[in-house]
Chain A
Amino acid sequence: MSVNKIKVTVNNKVFEEEIDSRLLLVDFIRENLGLTGTHVGCDTTNCGACTVLLDGKPVKSCTVFALQANGKSITTIEGLSHGKEMHPIQKAFLDKNGLQCGYCTAGMIMIAHWLIRKNPEATRDEIREAISGNLCRCTGYDSIVDSIQEASQNMIPEEEEDITAGQRGR
């Protein structure tokens, strides 16, 4: 085993660890940090259940080595809500039945978070295109599109600032 040091900021908290160099980012997040909200669905960069934000941009953490995130900042689904207060996207997924089994949901919410910041007025077709790297087998997607549309209407700029502050500070 080849051991390397890693220092990353996850959900605004700094972690320093020694890890196996082949450890995938998703396993680092799930197993080393115990943040199990990020899921593995396909192993082949298709399903998007493992989507996290790396320096503010969504990536598939099953296809990134943890060491590639060294010195960077990561936001996972656990980093979106403030204590008991849910993020507007999370609320929208509840309101609009954006999930059934919930296994793909973290990935969907993370990609939605990026999309809404990038294109707050995305049309339904643009939303469908943006989430085309995320698979859902339960909903048929229409309620996910509903949820993301609703969230984009409810998100106010201050809230967006707050969540990405961690990344901007560095």
Chain B
Amino acid sequence: MSTIEEIVQGKGKFVDDIVLPGMQHMSVIRSNYSRGKILGISGGYTFKDFPAYMSSVGEGASEGEKNMREPVLADKYVNYIGEPVAAVLGKNRYEAEDLSEKVEIEIEPLTPMMDPEKSIDAPPVYPYMKSNIYKKVTLGRDFRTDGFEVEIEGHFNNRRVATNPIEPRGIVAAYEDNQLTVWISTQSVHSIKEGLSEVLSMPEDNIRVIQADTGGAFGLKGGLYSEYALAAFLAKKTGKPVKWIESRREHLMASRPGRGTSAFVKLYANRSGRILGMKGKVIVDSGAYSGGSGEFAARFVGMQMTGPYKIENAYVEAYPVFTNKVVQGPYRGAGRPEAHFFIERMIDMLADKLKMDPVDVRLINTVNSEFKSPLGMDVPPAKEFLEEAISKLNYRKLYKEKPGFAFFVLVPAFQPGETARIKIENNEVKVWLGGNTHGQRHDIFVKTLVNEGLGINRDLVHLQLGDTSMLKSGIGSWGSRSAMVGGMAVHEACKKIKQAFIAKNGIYSADALLKEGADEFVHWRGEGTMNSLGCNLVTCEVNDRGQVKVKECAAYYDVGRALSPEVVRGQVSGGMAQGIGQTLYEEIMYSDDGQLLTASIADAGVPIASQLPEYKVLLSNTRSNLATGAKGVGESPTIGVPIALSRAIENVTGVKITETPIRQELLLRSMKH
């Protein structure tokens, strides 16, 4: 990978910086309708040329209904705006776009299904389905609800949000001598290889996937997309390399967005605030095809819906449902922010109902021992941490400022561990990780752990970009996992190298090892879970036009041992910005008749510097039981901030907040009265 010194000097190598001799540029012709019947296509490569279906790989992958899988290019029907219908190749981007305009597609529009909550009970859009529900999930056990002193209910929604890394998606594919090589901006070269192999019906051995410097991902770049399969297919078909770089407009139409999850929730409690039961119905706006993350998300959201609280009775029904929209994907948090938004909003509502301080309701319902929730989540001992957080975040002192508070469990993607390879050669240590860094500076923890494990100077340790020819298997970088599981894989590889060296030479010497060399591959597999806790506190002002200004934005997270405190701080700050973005500005919007209303990154609401506050990041340094001491962190801020900010706004304006983003109009009305 390019070093940070190279990047600040403009010498990074991102996928769009790669130029191969004879390279062609691909332009994709897409559906302008959310739903319709294809009457004719003239020109371009179409489904007839490449009759293949997508494979589901990477984060949140699911088997899915086989007959509802997304075709790489639309076949007979289009089911979302932006769905790829045809592709053309040009010798440069300008020419490719000129050619794409010559392709004519005739579509007979059909009435689209845009509302997931209506979709549940509507007649099935696909004739071969019984309903629009991909797969109903139930968690916990249903229970009788008579006899509880207090019962409250809420209906909440986190609308769809685009991931919007500043570098869009992109790929360069080349085919020569039966061998496909792709360079790609990705979180997992291994997922891409597996997916391409399936879609192209090519043995994995004939595919090499190389990661380019990756300009942010946030869940976007974990899996396979139609355009990747298309670029690979066309490189093979034409014998010349093919480049495809996504435009931002394509990103907003056809890249998988996250959130898009709503819930009906009921809480049952006694008058002192002790919660005795929770029932939830979760609806995931899964989009037009199976194989996205909707099916995984339904179960995952459901599992977390009691939050860190000890609630004896819990029952959730979760429905990933069909809509005429691009397939849902993971976005930083991927189910964690949704579940906690639902339970935490309910906790605040319960406090209001009982005229209690919301933080006291949280305290009453937490315990100091670990337990498995009725929905299946491992909850770490929570009470002591919560008390610590209340004090560190100055909640009581700031009470007059009307703070919002959030408490959550971070469930990282701990299983199935991760791989690493360490190769020592020519006085240099090269490290490959199964999960690919895309802006989180994995190089820093790798240097730290190799230095600790082998006593080798940090400057000699170099993390490499993902490359399937250099590392035989791997999982991916997502789900707050990399420092934790990738770190353990590095730790184990170091341990093995050291043991082997000692077995051979009697005593260990880093200098001698550097001369002698080594090459070790490890797949480290953790046992159980590695869940951790976090709290956020936010205060804000709302002006007479209904605009929100965030003042205090603070976090207290249990990140275990921070392998690199500056990197952790950066992760938390960036995540808080995304949490504020989701709460106040960000949304992918469609009209009722299925037109896409968000056409630019500004429309999509990605926040700018002058909209965001300074952050306060406090870390609890409690080592995990892993040898490295690390826990997860990356997704914590996107869980906690929307909750705390929503409550802060509620406190200031008196407006009940039930969905994100919170529209200015809603707050303006309250300021008027």
On A, residues with C-beta under 8 Å from B are: 20, 22-23, 27, 30-31, 35-44, 46-47, 49, 76-78, 80-81, 86, 90, 93-94, 97, 99-106, 109, 124-125, 127-129, 131-145
B167 within 8 A of partner (CB): yes
**B398 at the A/B interface (Cβ < 8 Å)?**
no
Q: Are A137 and B578 in contact (CB under 8 A)?
A: yes
- For the complex formed, measure the closest distance between the CB of A44 and the CB atoms of chain B, giving whole angstroms: 4
Tell me whether B166 and A139 are in contact (CB under 8 A): no
Determine whether the beta carbon of B612 is less than 8 Å from that of A77.
no
| Inter-subunit contact B8/A105 (CB<8 Å) | yes
Contact B94 A37 (CB under 8 A): no
Output the nearest chain A residue to B608 by Cβ-Cβ distance.
A132
Contacting pair B247 A43 (CB below 8 A): yes
Q: Does B527 contact A (CB under 8 A)?
A: no
Q: B625 an interface residue at 8 Å Cβ cutoff? A: no
Q: How far is the CA of A145 from the CA of B609 in the complex (A)?
A: 9
Contact A93 B8 (CB under 8 A): yes
Known: A44-B599, A46-B601, A86-B5. 6 other contacts (CB 8 A): A46-B602, A86-B9, A97-B567, A101-B166, A102-B439, A138-B574
Per a CB cutoff under 8 Å, which of B166, B578, B600 touches A44? Answer: B600
Given the complex, which residues of B lie within 8 Å of A106, measured CB to CB?
Answer: 10
Quote the shortest CB–CB distance from B536 to chain A (angstroms).
Answer: 14
B570 within 8 A of A: yes
Contact of A99 among B8, B11, B600, B610 (CB under 8 A): B8
Cβ 8 A contact of A140, one of B214, B566, B577, B610: B577
Report yes or no: A102 in contact with B7, Cβ–Cβ below 8 A.
Answer: yes
Partner of B166, one of A27, A93, A97, A137: A137
**B211 close to A (CB within 8 Å):** no
Interface size grouping (class) on chain B: 35 or more
Binds A, one of B12-20, B32-40, B110-118, B412-420: B12-20
Contact, CB under 8 Å: A139 / B167: no
Count chain B CB atoms within 10 A of each CB in A46, A81, A106, A140 and give the residue with the most.
A140
B440 at the interface (CB under 8 A from A): yes
| B167 x A144 contact (CB < 8 A) | no
How many angstroms from the CA of A77 to the CA of B6 in the assembled complex?
11
For the complex of A and B, list the 7 residue pairs with the smallest distance between their C-beta atoms, beginning with the closest: A37-B10, A101-B439, A103-B215, A140-B577, A77-B10, A102-B7, A140-B573
CA distance in complex: A137, B638 (Å): 13
- A to B CB contacts below 8 Å, 27 in the list: A31-B19, A31-B92, A43-B248, A44-B248, A44-B602, A47-B248, A49-B166, A76-B10, A86-B8, A90-B8, A99-B7, A101-B165, A102-B12, A102-B215, A103-B14, A103-B216, A105-B7, A106-B10, A125-B610, A128-B609, A129-B610, A137-B164, A137-B606, A139-B573, A140-B574, A140-B576, A142-B612
B11, B441, B574, most chain A CB atoms within 10 A: B574
Interface string of B563-600 (1 = CB under 8 A from A): 00011011001111110000000000000000000011
Docked Cα-Cα span, A47 to B609, in Å, equals 12
Contact of B8 among A38, A102, A128 (CB under 8 A): A102
- In the complex, what residues of A have CB within 8 A of residue B216's CB? 100-101, 103, 137-138
Distance between A34 CB and nearest chain B CB, rounded to angstroms: 8
Would you call B4 an interface residue if the criterion is a C-beta within 8 Å of the partner chain's C-beta atoms? yes
> Cβ of B615 < 8 Å from any Cβ of A?
yes
- Complex: chain A residue closest to B95, CB-CB: A1
Could you tell me if A42 and B248 are in contact, using CB atoms closer than 8 angstroms? yes
Residues of A within 8 A of B10 (CB): 35-38, 76-78, 106
Question: Does the CB pair A97–B566 fall under 8 Å?
Answer: yes
Instruction: Please tell me if B656 contacts chain A, counting CB pairs below 8 Å.
Output: no
Q: Which residues of B contact A36 (CB under 8 A)?
A: 10, 12-14, 16-17
* Highest count of chain A CB atoms <10 Å: which of B164, B213, B216: B216
B contact residues around A109 at 8 Å (CB):
8
Q: Is there contact, CB below 8 Å, between A138 and B9?
A: no
Measured between beta carbons, the chain B residues less than 8 angstroms from A43 are: 247-249
Query: In whole angstroms, what is the CA distance A97 to B440 when docked?
Result: 11
Contacts of B19 in A (CB 8 A): 31
Give chain B residues whose Cβ lies under 8 Å from the Cβ of A125: 610
CA distance A27 to B245 in the complex (A): 13
User: Is the beta-carbon distance between B441 and A100 smaller than 8 angstroms?
Assistant: yes
Asked if A137 meets B218 with Cβ closer than 8 Å, knowing A47-B601, A101-B439, A143-B573, the reply is yes
CB distance from A31 to the nearest CB of B (A): 8
Is there a chain A Cβ closer than 8 Å to B486's Cβ?
Answer: no
A90 to chain B, nearest CB (A): 4
A37 with B165: CB separation less than 8 A: no
A143–B617 Cα gap in the complex (Å)? 13
CB A38 to nearest CB in B, in angstroms, measures: 7
Contact of A41 among B2, B168, B249 (CB under 8 A): B168
Question: Interface digits, B199-228 against A, CB 8 Å rule (1 contact, 0 not)?
Answer: 000000000000001111010000000000
Interface: B190 (CB within 8 A): no
B256 on the interface (CB 8 Å rule)?
no
Interface flag for B101 (CB, 8 Å)? no
With a CB–CB cut-off of 8 A, which chain B residues contact A35? 10
Distance between Cα atoms of A81 and B6 in the complex (Å): 11
